[in-house]
Each structure stands twice: as structure tokens, then as C-alpha cells.
Amino acid sequence: MMNSSPFPKRLPKHPAFLRLSETDRRLLLRSAEIWSCPAGSVVFHPGDSGEDLILLLEGQFEEAENSGEGRRWLAGDMWGEERLLQPFPVERALKALQPSIWLRWPRSVLLSMAASSRSLEKSLAPVRDEKGQVVSGLLEGLPSAGGASGGVSASGRRKRSGRIRHLHSSLRQAWTGVVLSAAASAVLYFVNAAAEGEGAAAFLPLLPAALFCGWFLVFLVQRILTEYIIEPDAVRLRSFTWSRFAVESRRVPSDRIQGVAVERNGIIRRLLNYGTVRVKTAALDGELVLKDVDAPEKLAAEIRSLSQAASRRSAGRDQEAIRRSLERSGAVSGGPRLLRPAEPLHSADSRGKKNVLRFRKSGAILFGRLLLPLLCTLLPLAAACWLRGWFQNWMLLILLVPLFWIWYRFEDWRNDSFRVEGAYAVDVYRKPLGLKESRRQVDLLSVQNIRTEQKGVLSFLFRFGDVILVTAGGASDAVFASVARPWQVQEALFRAREEALSRREESRRQERQDELVRFAAALGQLKKED
């Protein structure tokens, strides 16, 4: 029999939550929806997106197999752990064998919380014993912002899941250089032997090998710095350009992919089976080029499969949302019922103010701007230690100029900020003393792609760079310049854009659902009249 109050005051005990702090436990409980259904209800139908994590509080679930009896979940069991890292549409119906109550976390909510709370992400990462069994955390963990996921063994060693692939350019192309340099060295050796070369000419056959070694060293450096990451939700590219000495990071969501093309020009690429894969989207700057990768046809097929799976999940979300609307309207009876919605976590803070993401330029930029004023301040102080008389009397007045310079540079850095407010990215710049003020706003819904750039050695040492928001027109691109850890800012902007797109799609979906509900009600009235 069910309890009189289905709302738990504390997060239920489960191995996945063993390492959670009390703050993270409260956060997870607040973010959970509470659902119930009578016996015989279908919780998920075939084709639903299945992008949920469910903790069964009371009752019993069964996933029926074609042969009849299938896997069952009892109170305290968790459904959907294996779907978090790489979600896929539901293949078999999930039915309630008894009156049931459960907690539900949408995958998007879990990813958003894990991205904003590093402690939550670490606590949910799986910890395995020596036999490989999970003793704490989720079964496969959550995909992290950096693209790596997996778990930690009992010895503390990090394990990376095979569902997120990290690729580099093929080493097979180096064989071409090996063969050509060896052939050139052999030809030069025989030519030199026939000409009876002496002195410096005797070392001429070593020149092709030396040139190849230089090229191979440059190739290895670029190969290490250029990485392709294939995730269930996106394809990422992190590339290094020698001409600009810059690293660029770009990302294309799986559901935005419109086509995948393979290029293998030349006989050598066909014989060694490597080539270029182009991932195309509708974005102005959205084409990703995965250059000279092994087995390009296989990789292209994998990316197409991820894109198709994302499309099927999107269709499953629509199907599930329409069915829930019909169930809430009363047109269909006996289905799952929402007892308590999740509390909003990011829309407002405890004082009711709307949460705003804020970014500033790197502290290294501030240090560079303050270096000269600080030197101008320290020099008079050093002189005061050695000189006496009128210089010490006028030292304070002399220091006013560099001190004012320091204050002006600091305020100029502090007032140059970047913010994300709702569905808008805002670049705010105010000069001290009210000399100038500008505010540039970009609608995240018009942003086609977001990429990062790190130029020069200093940007690598101090980890700062530019985040570029590519808009539909191209001429109005917004740049968050010289921000600290640009890859983290890029992830935050991608999340904000996806949330804005989700809100817009949810609004449109709700309008369509309302129309279907009205249609179902009118159809029911006509049937009653007949």
C-alpha cells in the first residue's frame, strides 16, 4: 500500500548517491519530478526518447521481451543509468505491474547540474572494485564538459568510456615520407658513389632523412595538438594552426548535422585507408573538417548513426510530450500522472533575482595592464629609500599619478564584462569616470556556432583566449575577448543556447499539443453524439 505522502523529504538511499554531499542531495531532490501511475500503465512506449533517469520509490516495473517475461525493477531500483552516456530510443514498452511512484530526472537537467557543480559530477562518477563492479556512482557516469567520461577504479585510476572517442590524424601518412626519403637517400648514395664525392658531398644522402625527421617532428606536434572528439551529443574539433600559432575549438551538436562527406584523394590514401571527413551543418561556420583520419568511411557512418539517433530521440520526445498532454487533458485515462514538478534551479536565486552568467577577461590581461603603472609606482618608492630632503616631502604627490593610473587600469578591466542573460549574450563595456559606455547584445537563438581561439604562447601559458559567437549573418559576430579558460566559457554558452532553443521548441510544442488536445476533445464530443 502506498504511503499517504508520496513526497520524500530526503533523497532515498541508493549506491549511486553514496558520495553525495548534503547540499548535492538537496539539489538532486529539488530537481526531481515525482510521478505515479496505477497498475497496468505504460510508463514508456517503444519509440520514446528514454532520456530519463528514474528511481522507483514504490511499485514494480517490467520491460517486456518478445518472448514474454522480461527484466523487472523493484522499489529502490534505478532505470536508465545505461542510457545517460549514450541515449537511444526505447525499444520495448516499460509497464507498471503495481501502483507505482518514482522520481524522474531528465538527462538534460542532470547534465546541466553536473556542468555547474564539479562536486556533483565527481560524486556521480562510477567507482569500481577490483572485479569491475560499480560500488558507488552511476553505472557509466555523465559526459563531462571536457568530453571525457567514465569512472574511477578502486585504486583511483581514471577509466574512460569507449562511447566517447578521441581521434587524431592518421600516422599512416608518415609512411609515404619514409618511403620517399629512403628512395631519395638511396638514389643520392649511388649518385655520390659513382661521382666519388668527398667531404661534405659524402653526407648528401643523409639530407632526405634529415628533412623527413624535421617534417615528422612538426607533424607529431600538430597531431598531438589537433584532436577530434566523437560524442553522442556532438562532434568536437580542437585544431592547431602553425601560421597563426593558434588553437581553435569548435563543436557541432549531433542533431544539427545535415550531412557527412568523405574525401580520399589519391592512390596512397586509398591504399592506406585514410582520408578526410567533412561534417556539414546549416550554420555559416558550422562545417567541421576531420582531416586525414583512419578508416574515414567507418567514422562517417558512425557520425551519421549518431545524427540519426539524435533525430529519433527528438521525434520520441515529441511523441511522449503529446501523449502526456492527452493524459493530462483526460482524453486518455490510466496513464502516468505528475504529482510534483521539479523546482526551478537556474531561473532565479534565493533572493528572487534572475541568475546571470558573468565572465571577465583573464587576470593575466589585468597583470599585463598593471605592469607598467606598478613599475612607475615602485621606482619613486625605491628612490625615497635612498634620497632625502624635498623628494620625501613630495613623494605622496608624485605617487598620485601612478596610483591613479593603476586605479584607472583596474576599473577599465573590471567594467569590461561579458554576461549571459536569459536568451541573450551581452558584452558590456564602461570606461572609468563615465567617459564611454557600450552594450552589445546578441540573441543566442541566432547564434549558429560557438568556437574558441587561443593565439600566441602567452595564451597557452596563462590559459586565456577568445570565444567567438558566429551569427547567421556573419557580419555581426560577437567576441568574448581574452576570457580565462575559453573552453569552459564555450561550454557555458552552448548550454545557454541549448536551453534557449529548448524553451522555444517547448513553447511551440505546447501550442501544437494544445491544438491536439482540443481536437481530441472535439472528436470525443462527436463520438458521443453518434
Q: How do residues 99-117 score in pLDDT, each as one tens digit?
A: 999 999 988 888 888 877 7
391 pLDDT tier (thresholds 50, 70, 90): low
Q: Which has the minimum average pLDDT: 212-216, 465-469, 494-498?
A: 494-498
Average pLDDT over residues 279-295: 80
Specify the length of the chain in residues: 530
- Spatial CB neighbours of 213, under 8 Å, sequence gap ≥ 6: none
253 pLDDT tier (thresholds 50, 70, 90): confident
Cα–Cα nearest to 230, from 156, 155, 307: 307
Task: Look up the CATH architecture of domain 357-499.
Answer: Roll (2.30)
pTM of the model: 0.71
Q: Which residues pair with 469 in a beta bridge?
A: 450, 478
Share of the chain above pLDDT 90, in %: 12
Class of residue 518 by CB neighbours under 10 A (exposed 0-12, middle 13-18, buried 19+) = exposed
Judged against a pLDDT cut of 50, whether residue 154 lies above it is answered with no
Sign of the C-alpha dihedral, residues 143, 148, 150, 155?
Answer: negative
How many whole angstroms separate alpha carbon 208 and alpha carbon 195?
19
Tens digits of residue pLDDT in 307-316: 888 888 888 8
Strand 150-153 to strand 127-128: parallel, antiparallel, or no bridges (unpaired)? Answer: parallel
277 pLDDT tier (thresholds 50, 70, 90): very high
In this prediction, residue 160 carries a pLDDT of 42
In this prediction, residue 294 carries a pLDDT of 92
Average pLDDT over residues 383-404: 68
In this prediction, residue 260 carries a pLDDT of 92
The class of domain 167-307 in CATH terms is: mainly beta
Q: What are phi and psi of 443, to 5 degrees?
A: -75, 120
Tens digits of residue pLDDT in 318-351: 788 777 777 666 556 677 888 888 887 654 444 4
Domain with CATH 2.30.29.30 in the chain: 357-499
Average pLDDT, the chain: 80
Tens digits of residue pLDDT in 440-475: 888 888 887 788 888 888 888 888 999 988 876 655
